[in-house]
A and B are shown apart, each in its own frame.
Chain A
């Protein structure tokens, strides 16, 4: 039925006016509604940043080397860039943590002067300088009330890798970025360099340091074809308005090595890190560093991040278990958990698994090794004990690390020494199935490691309740380490190591107790 009713023109005007008034008021009211949460975070980060700034203002004069004219290099053949602009642009900063828990503020420098290595002689140096980024990292000392500053320079290979400050940091290299990242100490001693190709580190470089007034011969170790010596020319580029001043610096010699074949990596808490060998953190270094100059003990590899999808927040026990496994040094060295997807190469979520019988799955194939997906089975996660969830998390993170290491063609991994060589054996033994390869590898190398981590985590995950329920099984009131080994075997029961395990019956008895594990997490 058609409705022929229409208001007279006067009422139409009134109605329109009324609507306009309502709209106007709603605009005013809505503009007054404060944005929840985000301002608080900003205030909190800014107050922390203020502390860094205060510390820097108080100490910056002590951090600087005396002016040394144009001596860009010492007689020791070490690259030392002259003191130049070191004033941070405090409005542009990143805030994150190194894997070992040290807090880092990475702040943009004003970039009036730029130092660049010449990577492509055919390209305009001003263009190369224009796309490079120079930042200063303040690494909070874990025990002392100070920060250790480092200069990070990002040299993109080409224009497509040019990034704004907000788009790149030492812990956030995207998968399309290629170029070099060089780290210098605050007084411009060279620290370490990383070559990155499409988001993955492929090479490191360290400048050769030689004896004072001596030309060191290239020894046998330097003839290693894996670590050839590379000569680099450096330019100092200053932009003032439209005037670009280019000053040539002397060349330096560095040793460039593929990942895993280099001798500079050390294991700090099991994590690969890089020490500045010729520059001790106290006293006068071989290259003339000032006494007492603060140098970070080590700098970790830029590492991968696990993005916790929003679904995770719907599973409090999973969230709690994640917060506990972050306490594990082993996991802390492998992974950073983040609420932000930016820069993440692993996503942890809860949903349907491809195999309905899976407790969880890690897929490093479908979307590539830079987009690994760990999925907990939504049908079963609710029935898991907290220690079971922690065990599955560790298990899947190891899968993710294997996918990542293989994808990056890394020679090294925290999982096992000489990773590439060791894993190659499993590839050859089980060529058709990467799940079998990985499980056989994990069963051979990592069960005890998982067990030890579970033992350390259990006090946070209902150990007392479990102990009370199973007390008759334990001598001297202590849960035997064998129990954790037994449950670490879950998921590996198809492997040859388990099938042929001479202690299988013993472990199976201990596994029978895991039905008394609880959902406590505190």
Chain B
């Protein structure tokens, strides 16, 4: 099953390049691989930073880069996912062919409940744009940044 999925993924990554089809690939990636989250797992997030519901802010403090993402939701401003990439957190260099070994979340397709219920030990994020770029350039590996994450529901 895994081998089959891996073939599909590699095939998808190598063949398709137009935006519409990239989205479909990523959807497939999510739909086939997200296990639901078990504590101790690592989750890879592919974030659409260009989405109107995502805010991104970069801060440079003492030559160190801090990136903040807020995934807001138009239905209730209290429903927010708050992510941050900090210098003291790690990076993960993953070969594309190894992606199948991880849970992957594609944010544009995920309702708030999925974000809200996430319970992974570590979260790593790559922006969708960087993923697509890597695919176009034929790179064999991707760099994911570790993030701290919090989510707020209604109270």
Residues in chain A within 8 A of chain B (CB atoms): 355-361, 377, 379-380, 382-383, 385, 388, 392, 395-396, 469, 472-473, 490-494, 498, 508-509, 511-517
Contacts and interface: CB of A to CB of B under 8 A. Distances in A.
A379 B84 contact: no
B153 A358 contact: yes
A15 B79 CA distance: 69
Interface stretch (B13-21, B24-32, B114-122): B114-122
Given A357-B154, A383-B151, A491-B78, 5 more contacts: A380-B116, A469-B148, A472-B62, A498-B77, A509-B57
B88 interface: yes
A357 B153 contact: yes
**Max chain A Cβ within 10 angstroms of own Cβ: one of B77, B78, B88, B112:** B78
B110 to A, nearest CB: 13
Interface string B65-95: 0101010000011111011101010000000
B57 A357 contact: no
**Max chain A Cβ within 10 angstroms of own Cβ: one of B70, B80, B118, B148:** B148
B64 interface: yes
A513 B147 CA distance: 12
Contacts of A473: 61
B151 A357 contact: no
B117 A359 contact: no
Contacts of B51: none
Given A357-B153, A380-B117, A516-B86, A494 B62 contact: no
B78 A517 contact: no
A395 B149 contact: no
A464 B93 CA distance: 31
B155 A490 contact: yes
A515 B152 contact: no
Interface of B: 57, 61-62, 64, 66, 68, 70, 76-80, 82-84, 86, 88, 112-113, 116-119, 147-155
B37 to A, nearest CB: 10
A515 B118 CA distance: 14
B78 A516 contact: no
Contacts of B57: 509, 512
19 contacts: A358-B153, A359-B152, A380-B153, A383-B119, A395-B155, A473-B61, A490-B78, A490-B152, A491-B154, A493-B76, A493-B80, A498-B77, A509-B57, A512-B57, A512-B70, A514-B82, A515-B83, A515-B84, A515-B149
B76 A512 contact: no
**Max chain A Cβ within 10 angstroms of own Cβ: one of B76, B79, B80, B150:** B150
A392 B155 contact: yes
Contact of B78 (A356, A361, A493, A512): A493
A229 B116 CA distance: 58
Contacts of B76: 357, 493-494
Contacts of A377: 153
B151 to A, nearest CB: 7
A473 B66 CA distance: 11
Contact of A508 (B70, B88, B112, B113): B70
A385 B116 CA distance: 13
B155 A358 contact: yes
Please give me the 8 A-B residue pairs with the lowest Cβ-Cβ distance, nearest first: A515-B150, A493-B77, A359-B153, A515-B148, A491-B155, A512-B68, A472-B61, A359-B155
Contacts of B84: 512-513, 515-516
Contacts of A513: 84
**Max chain B Cβ within 10 angstroms of own Cβ: one of A360, A383, A395:** A383
**Max chain A Cβ within 10 angstroms of own Cβ: one of B66, B83, B148, B154:** B154
A356 B149 CA distance: 20
A517 B86 CA distance: 14
Contacts of B78: 490-494
A385 B70 contact: no
A400 to B, nearest CB: 13
Contacts of A516: 84, 86, 148
A361 B154 CA distance: 8
A357 B77 CA distance: 12
B119 A517 contact: no
Contacts of A385: 150
Contacts of B154: 355, 357-359, 491
Contacts of A388: 150
**Max chain A Cβ within 10 angstroms of own Cβ: one of B57, B70, B76, B82:** B82
B69 to A, nearest CB: 9
Contacts of B80: 493
Nearest to A358: B154
A221 to B, nearest CB: 44
A489 to B, nearest CB: 10
A514 B116 CA distance: 15
Nearest to B78: A493
Nearest to B116: A380
Nearest to B73: A357
A490 to B, nearest CB: 5
B53 to A, nearest CB: 14
A507 to B, nearest CB: 12
A443 to B, nearest CB: 12
B155 A515 contact: no
B86 A469 contact: yes
A396 B153 CA distance: 13
B131 to A, nearest CB: 22
Contact of A514 (B66, B113, B119, B150): B150
A492 B116 CA distance: 18
A515 B80 CA distance: 11
A380 B70 CA distance: 19
A509 to B, nearest CB: 7
A395 B152 CA distance: 14
**Max chain B Cβ within 10 angstroms of own Cβ: one of A473, A509, A512:** A512
